[in-house]
Chain A
Amino acid sequence: MMNKKEILKLAKGFRGRAKNCIRIARERVEKALQYSYRDRRTKKRDMRSLWIQRVSAGTRQHNVHYGHFMHGLKKENIQLNRKVLSEISMHEPFSFKALVDISREAFPGNRHIYHRPRKVDMSSMDA
């Protein structure tokens, strides 16, 4: 971000005069760079949360909670991380089922079957 040319290059796609005029562009580019600094850190958090959601969705198809699943894996000393678990849950359903079974045996709390709350048909109820 040394000279005008570089700033305007970074300001491509900005709205209005922020992409053309150096005084406005400089401010917007500074803000954009601050956001990117901050978001490089939050990206890691967001991705992890996304992986956890995916793994949770995958395990609930087999009637196991995410927390119980991870507890079972840690007990068995399986050190796959959440990124890889989420990809396996999406693309390798049988490997994932094997992992869920291992976790289920390792953690006795998994015996309880989780029932999804069923949608109730409201139309049959009285007004």
Chain B
Amino acid sequence: MASTSYTLFSLCSSFNAHCKISPTPSVSKPLAFTKPNFSSSFNLPQKLCFSSSPSLPQSATVPKVSQIDAPAVAESEPESPPAATQIVEVAKEEAPKREEIFAVVMVGGRQYIVIPGRFLYVQRLKGTNVNDKIALNKVLLVGTKTTTYIGKPVVTNAVVHAVVEEQGLNKKVIVFKYKKKKNYRRNIGHRQPNTRIRITGITGFENYPAVTLDSIAKSS
């Protein structure tokens, strides 16, 4: 078994510069007024539909890898057996208290592993403004310290709440096309629009059939 139980919240190089460990504000502060919730996750290709009824998505396309470069990946916390929790607690007691849960959510045609308190760059969500609350409905898997809820394909009624932080552009890539000996050169710059969202919480998965740690231990 992988012995990564101790790298609880180590800095990840996988989400590159996008997803850093941010000191968690102690539970998202309630806004004075909340903008209407947009369920922004049922992205059919090239089209955003704001429907709230879950529909079976097509199988995920190979996601754009602009956010994952280094092979070394270390982000969400592992499900450690109860014996190792002591060591884990000691290792991270200087970090602020964070809910120990993760989810795999599908946004913008790509899947991400999210944990509350961190932010994430996704494809530009049209129609949202800064400081909008977002509910992401396509939750494919939810994991806590002791149980895993594996969605087929979606964990019903599970919602990941997030807040839109900023809407900007990716770093510029230079698209340079060149054919040799034919005097053909095209130089185009491109900045893909993105949206930074901060995950505030994961809810609604409790009533789903779960796989618990004991059942896994029994079956091994």
Q: Is A81 an interface residue (CB 8 A)?
A: yes
Which one of B68, B102, B185 contacts A47 once the chains associate, using CB atoms below 8 Å? B68
Do the beta carbons of A79 and B60 come within 8 Å of each other? yes
Taking chain A's interface residues, is the majority helix, strand, or loop, or is none over half, making it mixed?
helix
Asked whether, in the complex, the Cβ of B59 is within 8 Å of the Cβ of A91, the reply is no
Could you tell me the distance between the alpha carbons of A37 and B187 in the complex, rounded to whole angstroms?
Answer: 11
Q: Do residues B143 and A95 form an inter-chain contact, with CB atoms below 8 A? A: yes
Task: Give residues 144-181 of B contacting A (CB, 8 Å).
Answer: 148, 150-153, 173-178
Nearest B residue (CB) for A96: B2
Show the binding face of B for A, using Cβ within 8 Å.
Answer: 1-2, 4, 7, 14, 57, 59-60, 62-65, 68, 71, 73-79, 81, 102, 104, 111-113, 140-141, 143, 148, 150-153, 173-178, 185, 187, 211, 213, 216, 219-220
Residues of B within 8 A of A61 (CB): 1
Please determine whether B176 and A81 come into contact, CB atoms closer than 8 angstroms: no
Closest residue of B by beta carbon distance from A50: B71
**Do B150 and A102 touch (CB < 8 A)?**
yes
User: Is the C-beta of A1 less than 8 angstroms from some C-beta in chain B?
Assistant: yes
Contact B152 A44 (CB under 8 A): no
CB <8 Å contact, A90 and B73: yes
Question: Do B62 and A94 touch across chains, with their CB atoms under 8 A apart?
Answer: no
Interchain CB contact under 8 A, B176 and A78: no
Smallest CB gap from B74: residue in A? A91
Asked if A84 and B104 sit within 8 Å, CB to CB, the answer is: yes
- Complex CA gap A79/B61 in Å reads 10
B13 CB, nearest partner CB in chain A, Å: 13
Q: Which of A67-91 contact B (CB under 8 A)?
A: 76-81, 83-84, 86-91
